């Protein structure tokens, strides 16, 4: 009788090879997106850069946009891990998240702008992502719920609505700010952060609650 493999067994050689191939495609695609812009890059170009067949690409990513969803999920995982290491109040958590979001956006405005655009066009793409791979929205919902449970945020607003407003308004606010500056990053990104966050928190803070 065969002994079942323990639950902690390391991934098989086939699984490791599959993950390496996926990572190879992912890195090649992001490199091209950054160098040439999302719209200018074709799946064929990604396959050539990653040295894989077109069928292999679609085995790992159903669309070109799916690479962006992976990028966002990876970023969100990193933010979630780093946020768990911090003990601030919920208002301060939102400020920290906004700091990170603005910094990432200004560093790769084209990539983030296209990512949100594609998400709004094809929300079903993100819906197919694993539960633990959902992007910034889930992290925002978690922070808002925590703030509501502590009495820091209004309890009559759905956390999911706050996350949606945050993402939609950040797209308009950040792209508008960059457009006003001719596409260049502002000299004082903290000013953009503070304006954006004040707009969000002014309607979210519970009566009498400080912005901790």
DSSP notation for 42-95: -HHHHHHHHT--HHHHHHH-SSSHHHHHHHHHHHHHHHHHHHHT----HHHHHH
- Domains of the chain (ranges; CATH) run 15-61 (1.10.10.60), 65-204 (1.10.357.10)
Question: Does residue 146 register a pLDDT over 80?
Answer: yes
The model's pLDDT over 12-65, given as tens digits with 9 standing for 90+, comes to: 888 889 999 999 999 999 999 989 988 899 999 999 999 999 999 999 999 888
| 87-98: average pLDDT | 79
Confirm if 72 and 136 have CB atoms less than 8 A apart: yes
In a 13 Å sphere around the CA of 67, the CA atoms on its Cβ side amount to 26
Closest among 158, 136, 135, 132 to 145, alpha carbons compared: 158
Cα 7 from chain centroid?
30
41 contact partners, CB below 8 Å, separation of at least 6: 29, 32, 33, 64
Q: Predicted confidence band at 2 (pLDDT cuts at 50, 70, 90)?
A: very low
Letter string b/e over residues 100-125, b meaning 16 or more CB atoms within 10 A of that residue's CB: bbbebbbebbebbbbbbebbeeeeeb
Structure confidence at residue 4 (pLDDT): 47
The residue ranking higher by pLDDT, 102 or 4, is 102
| 188-207: average pLDDT | 67
């Amino acid at each position: 009788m065969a002994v079942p493999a323990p639950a902690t067994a390391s991934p098989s050689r086939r699984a490791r090879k599959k993950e390496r191939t996926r990572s190879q495609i992912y890195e090649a695609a992001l490199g091209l997106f950054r160098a040439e812009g999302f719209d200018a890059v074709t799946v064929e170009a990604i396959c050539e850069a990653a040295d894989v067949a077109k069928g292999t690409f679609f085995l790992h990513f159903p669309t070109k946009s799916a690479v962006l969803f992976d990028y966002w999920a990876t970023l969100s995982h990193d933010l979630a891990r780093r946020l768990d290491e911090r003990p601030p109040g919920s208002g301060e958590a939102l400020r920290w998240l906004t700091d990170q979001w603005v910094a990432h956006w200004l560093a790769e405005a084209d990539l983030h702008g296209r990512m949100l655009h594609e998400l709004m066009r094809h929300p079903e793409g993100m819906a197919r992502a694993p539960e633990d791979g959902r992007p910034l929205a889930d992290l925002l919902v978690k922070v808002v719920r925590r703030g509501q449970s502590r009495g820091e945020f209004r309890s009559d607003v759905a956390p999911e609505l706050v996350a949606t407003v945050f993402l939609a308004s950040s797209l308009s606010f950040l792209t508008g700010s960059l457009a006003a500056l001719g596409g260049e990053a502002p000299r004082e990104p903290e000013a953009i952060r503070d304006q954006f966050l004040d707009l969000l928190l002014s309607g979210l803070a519970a009566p009498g609650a400080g912005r901790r």
